[in-house]
A and B are shown apart, each in its own frame.
Chain A
Amino acid sequence: MTGTTGAALGAPAERREGRQKVTGAARYAAEYAPPGRVHAWPVPAAVARGRVTGVDTSAALALPGVLAVLTPSDAAGLAAPEDGTLAVLRTPDVPHRGWCVALAVAETPETARAAARAVRVDYAAKPHDAGPAEGHPDAYEPEDVVGQPGRVEYGDPEAAYAAAEVRLDVTYRVPPLHNHPMEPHATTAHWDGDRLTVYTSTQGGTTVRSVLAGMFRLPEERVTVVAEHVGGGFGSKGTPRPDVVLAALAARHTGRPVTLAYPRRYLPTVAGHRAPTVQRLRLGAHPDGRLTALLHEVTTQTSRVNEFVEHAAVVSRVMYATPSLLSTHRVVPLDVPTPSWMRAPGEAPGMYALESAVDELADALGTDPVELRVLNEPRTEPAGGKPFSSRHVVECLREGARRFGWAGRDPRPGIRREGPLLLGTGVAAATYPVQVAPSTATAEARPDGTFVVRINAADIGTGARTVLAQIAADALGVPLDRVRTEVGHSDLPPAPLAGGSSGTASWGWAVHEACARLAAHPEEGPTVRADTTGKADADSPYARHAFGAHFAEVAVDTVTGEIRVRRLLGVYAAGRILNARTARSQFTGAMIMGLGMALTEHSTLDPAFGDFPEADLAAYHVPVQADVPDIEADWIDEHDSHLNPMGSKGIGEIGIVGTAAAIGNAVHHATGIRFRELPLTPDRILAAPPYQG
């Protein structure tokens, strides 16, 4: 495989769209206003399960400025989507509370909102079951979770655990969590005859195009999807959401361009969420700390619309050498909103539980938690036995320990006091798989000596334009300022989504290939097209993962129950880092989301109502400035020739993996109390026996 040798890769190049973003010129989906554009407002289902028996639209339609109210069956003529969450307004059935049962369209957002409120919906409600999943009779073991078996077992884990000299049996809980990107899901749709254009907030415009073409029975070339700037997604915009279908439908229905910007508090029920998990961990070990058994059993839930399994147990197939392993999932379909991808699905909750349990084992053995991890370092991937393409988790732990000042740490919990504060430090490892998908891209040589790279990549805040230009410049052997990139438009060469930390690897591979060929064979130009199908998706003989380590210092207020993170450090081994500036921002940003997972982010699936009481940003607490201390993220040089031509691993998600465990472990070190349910809010701290009253 040819490596890139130029000067652009790795450099801290400034974001190319930065100027537009700081001046307010960057346009997001709801900010396109084709002439005559009107606004839509959804009506969410007010029952958790049942049927719509009637929709009275007369009061809504009587409001001046109302164009239409779409009702169940208005989308009946569309082809059935593969993704059940997009099957809105096709039938009167209500699969969960918050499901869209009508859509008001009006000249202004104010009128659309008033009209939606004036719509009267009658339901035949049916009894619903919204859990909890724990102990539920309908739990089953899914065959497949994210392309892996739902269950992996080797050795005789039950027997090995029973025979272990040291045993730990603990259960950890992670609540439902919401993505809440700052830009709510939104689409502006516009028909020109039988051509459909949507400006939409998505992590993958190519998929949006094929889904809309399928549902509206159009050839793909009649559908244009524009997503120039996307205000975050963190997984919730990884698949098309109801807004894009509803906006297109309403635009066709009214003959006017329509913007549907989902109200913030409706998002938790329609935009996916991280499903809650209950994770039982059993660790068996020799007295010296070597594992003899690792059992990781996850119970989670999904909706009746789609099966989505939060695959939290897969991390136990990767992390530690063990002669016996059980890694399994059980899922319960309920009458609840459909869970979906949220930053590091599976890995984030899974490593919270596993890395907390490993800390508990270290505590039980009286071993340093860094050393316990080093002791259990596997030579090959524990499940499957493939060699690692590269694995530097020990180096991350050692380098992190050095920078954090871990050496000489007194392991005794609950002894460092500062007035009412108890102080502690904690560590956890991190891992995230290397994923990569085939992509196409073109590179064009212009007569003026510049180059244009075109690819329908999505820049959701990662800096895709910038890093792809860096990849192109080095492959072409030209300075960075001679390369322009075009992304975020479906007229560009098709590309996979920004998700699974795979965007840069997938797109970059195609960009690299097009540019390298153009440089080597200018006569093939001026435009060279590359397609990495067959290469990017080829089976690898290697287990490929990024790794890292997180270190945290906390202060726990024994009077108020408040936990403050004082320091947070992440050290990563993620292949070649392609842009030092934007990479650092992604790492620290994900660590902050991990801090939120540990301390502030909490949602509840209310069994009586079947949805989330914590639906808006006043009730669901994403971390704010004052929650966030000095955070440091760095990486070690890693050279891995088994990845892609750039030698990169994905970096968008690993920062959230293990962060909550490092903070939780620090809280134990501070207090001597093991809290096993997130988030670690003051009420939970104060409910612990020593702090009551």
Chain B
Amino acid sequence: MTSAPRPGQHSEVTLRVNGKPHTLRVDHRRVLLDLLREELGLTGSKKGCDHGQCGACTVLVDGRRLNSCLLLAVALDGSEITTVEGLGGDGEEPHPLQRAFLDRDAFQCGYCTPGQLCSAVGMLAEAAAGHPSHVTDPGAPSGRPVPLDRTEIRERMSGNLCRCGAYPRIVEAIEDVIP
């Protein structure tokens, strides 16, 4: 009863992560989250559930926020990934939202924080692009930027759990960076 290694269990993919290209031979079972954490040493993205239930692993893939624990790395050839480590770009200064999280004390243990940050950056782009949410007025003209009041922010950020309960401060931090 052995399971010999079957051919075709690994493939080569090229990803850009925080602006840097990486070509890797990946196990087909490997999800982006584990690729980041185990192969690239980018442990800022967190594993809270490994099942798409908590948002701790949220990163930006080609500008969209996604749960990296649900993305098979082998399917991401050519993608552009941004993690919490890359939010601030090349500079020493953190991203304005990172600064706002510090100013508002929008975290305690910090474990959900990278996911909250990436999710919020993605969420702001979605709203700016006119994507409606469950609480958006269905009568609002489509395609126009959706104004983000607290109800919108809360609804759109509900995929990111925070067991420390930093939610009110996270909303304030996001409000701080809304143009």
| Residues of chain A at the chain B interface (Cβ within 8 Å) | 14-15, 17-28, 30-31, 33, 58-59, 62-64, 108-110, 114, 118, 180-184, 229-232, 234, 261, 263-265, 460-463, 581-582, 584-586, 588-593, 616-618, 622-626, 628, 630-631
- B108 contact from A23, A59, A461, Cβ within 8 A: A461
Q: List 17 A-B contacts (CB under 8 A).
A: A22-B113, A24-B83, A59-B3, A108-B27, A108-B30, A181-B111, A182-B112, A184-B47, A184-B49, A234-B163, A263-B50, A264-B49, A461-B164, A582-B108, A588-B165, A616-B49, A630-B150
Query: Does the CB pair A626–B155 fall under 8 Å?
Result: yes
> Which residues on B sit within 8 Å (CB–CB) of A461?
107-110, 164
Known contacts being A23-B44, A31-B43, is A182 close to B50, with CB within 8 Å?
no
Q: Interface code B127-142, partner A: CB below 8 Å = 1, 0 otherwise? A: 0000000000000000
- For residue B171, CB closer than 8 A to chain A, the reply is yes
| Chain A residue contacts of B167, Cβ below 8 A | 592, 623-625, 628
Please name all residues of chain A whose beta carbon is closer than 8 Å to the beta carbon of B88 when the two chains form the complex.
23
B1 pairs with A62, CB closer than 8 A: yes
* Chain A hits for B37, CB < 8 A: 31
Given contacts A22-B107, A461-B108, contact A618 B51 (CB under 8 A): yes
- Contact, CB under 8 Å: A586 / B153: no
A182 and B165 contacting across the interface, CB-CB below 8 Å = no
Residue of A whose beta carbon sits closest to that of B85: A24
Closest CB in chain B relative to A554 CB, distance in Å: 17
B54 touches which of A25, A30, A182 (Cβ 8 Å): A182
Report the Cα distance A180→B98, complex, angstroms: 25
- A19/B94 contact (C-beta < 8 A), A181-B163, A229-B110, A461-B164 known: yes
Whether a CB of chain A sits under 8 angstroms from the CB of B179 is: no
Verify B98–A23 contact, CB threshold 8 A.
yes
Check A182/B164 contact, CB under 8 A, given A24-B44, A25-B44, A31-B43: yes
B46 within 8 A of A: yes
Does B162 lie at the interface of the complex (its beta carbon under 8 Å from any beta carbon of A)? Answer: yes
Q: In the complex, what residues of A have CB within 8 A of residue B162's CB?
A: 182
Q: Point out the residues of chain A lying under 8 angstroms from B112, CB to CB.
A: 182
CB-contact partner of A589 in B5, B30, B49, B108, under 8 A: B108
Q: Which 8 A-B pairs have the closest CB atoms?
A: A24-B44, A231-B111, A461-B109, A589-B165, A21-B110, A592-B165, A461-B108, A62-B2
Contact indicator per residue, chain B 85-113, by CB within 8 Å of chain A (1) or not (0): 10110000010001001110101111111
B163 near A180 with CB under 8 A, answer yes
Query: Is B122 at the interface (CB under 8 A from chain A)?
Result: no
What is B's interface to A at a CB cutoff of 8 Å?
1-3, 5, 27, 29-30, 34, 37-38, 41-51, 53-54, 56, 83-85, 87-88, 94, 98, 101-103, 105, 107-114, 117, 150, 153-155, 157-171
Q: Are B164 and A589 in contact (CB under 8 A)?
A: yes
15 further A-B contacts with Cβ under 8 Å, apart from A182-B112, A593-B163, A628-B154, are A22-B94, A24-B42, A24-B44, A26-B110, A58-B1, A110-B30, A118-B3, A182-B163, A184-B47, A232-B108, A232-B111, A616-B51, A624-B161, A625-B158, A625-B170
Instruction: Knowing A109-B38, A589-B165, A625-B170 are in contact, say whether A62-B85 is a contact too (CB < 8 A).
Output: no
Q: How far is the CB of B68 from chain A (nearest CB, A)?
A: 13
- Which B residue's beta carbon lies closest to that of A183? B111
Distance A18 CA – B84 CA, assembled complex (angstroms): 14
Cα of A24 to Cα of B87 in the assembled complex, Å: 10
What's the nearest-Cβ distance from chain B to residue A358, in Å?
26
Are the C-beta atoms of B110 and A585 separated by less than 8 Å? no
Query: Smallest CB–CB gap between B47 and chain A, Å?
Result: 7
- Shortest Cβ distance from B154 into chain A, in angstroms? 4
**Cβ 8 A contact of A22, one of B47, B98, B159, B171:** B98
B113 touches A21 (CB 8 A): yes
- Determine the distance from Cα of A631 to Cα of B167 in the docked complex, in whole angstroms: 10
**A626-B154, A628-B168 known; A182+B27 contact, CB < 8 A:** no
Query: Contacts A461-B109, A588-B165: A109 and B34 contacting too (C-beta < 8 A)?
Result: yes
Is there an interface contact between A24 and B165, defined as CB atoms closer than 8 Å?
A: no
- CB pair A625 B153 closer than 8 Å: yes
Residue of A nearest to B117 (CB): A22
Query: Which residue in B46, B94, B159 is a CB contact (below 8 Å) of A183?
Result: B46
Q: Which residues of A contact B48 (CB under 8 A)?
A: 182-184, 264, 617
Q: Which of A22, A64, A118, A181 contacts B109 (CB 8 A)?
A: A181
- For B30, B38, B101, the residue with the greatest tally of chain A CB atoms inside 10 Å of its CB is B38
A630 — which chain B residues lie within 8 A by C-beta?
150, 168
Partner of B102, one of A18, A59, A265, A592: A18
Shortest Cβ distance from B43 into chain A, in angstroms?
A: 4
> Which chain B residue shows the least CB distance to A59?
B1
Determine the distance from Cα of A20 to Cα of B102 in the docked complex, in whole angstroms.
10
User: Shortest distance in angstroms between B169's beta carbon and chain A's nearest beta carbon?
Assistant: 7
Of chain B, the residue at the smallest CB distance from A114 is B29
Known: A22-B98, A182-B111. A30 touches B164 (CB 8 A): no
User: Closest residue to A28 on the B side, CB-wise?
Assistant: B111
- Residue numbers in A under 8 Å from B2 (CB-CB): 58-59, 62
Contacts of A118 in B (CB 8 A): 3
Contacts of A108 in B (CB 8 A): 27, 30, 34, 38
From B3, B83, B107, B110, residue with most partner A Cβ within 10 Å: B110
Cβ A624 vs Cβ B158 within 8 A: yes
Contact status A183-B53, CB under 8 Å: no
Whether A24 lies near B84 (C-beta < 8 A) is yes
User: How far, in Å, is A612 (CB) from chain B's closest CB?
Assistant: 15
Provide the residues of chain A in CB contact with B171, threshold 8 Å: 625
Instruction: Name the B residues within 8 Å of A232 (CB-CB).
Output: 108-109, 111, 163-164
Q: Are B165 and A617 in contact (CB under 8 A)?
A: no
Q: Report the minimum CB–CB distance from A113 to chain B (whole Å).
A: 8
- The distance in angstroms between the C-alpha atoms of A63 and B6, with both chains bound, is 11
A75 to chain B, nearest CB (A): 26
Across the interface, which residues of A come within 8 angstroms of B84, CB to CB? 22-24
What residues of chain A lie closer than 8 Å to B160, measured between beta carbons? 624-625
Contacts of A180 in B (CB 8 A): 163
Chain B: minimal CB distance from A656 (Å): 10
Chain A residue with the shortest CB-CB distance to B48: A182
Pick the contact of A588 from B38, B42, B53, B168 — CB < 8 Å? B168
In contact, A110 and B29 (Cβ under 8 angstroms): yes
Q: CA A256 – CA B75 in complex, angstroms? A: 32
Given A23-B44, A184-B47, A617-B51, do A15 and B105 touch, yes or no (CB 8 Å)? yes
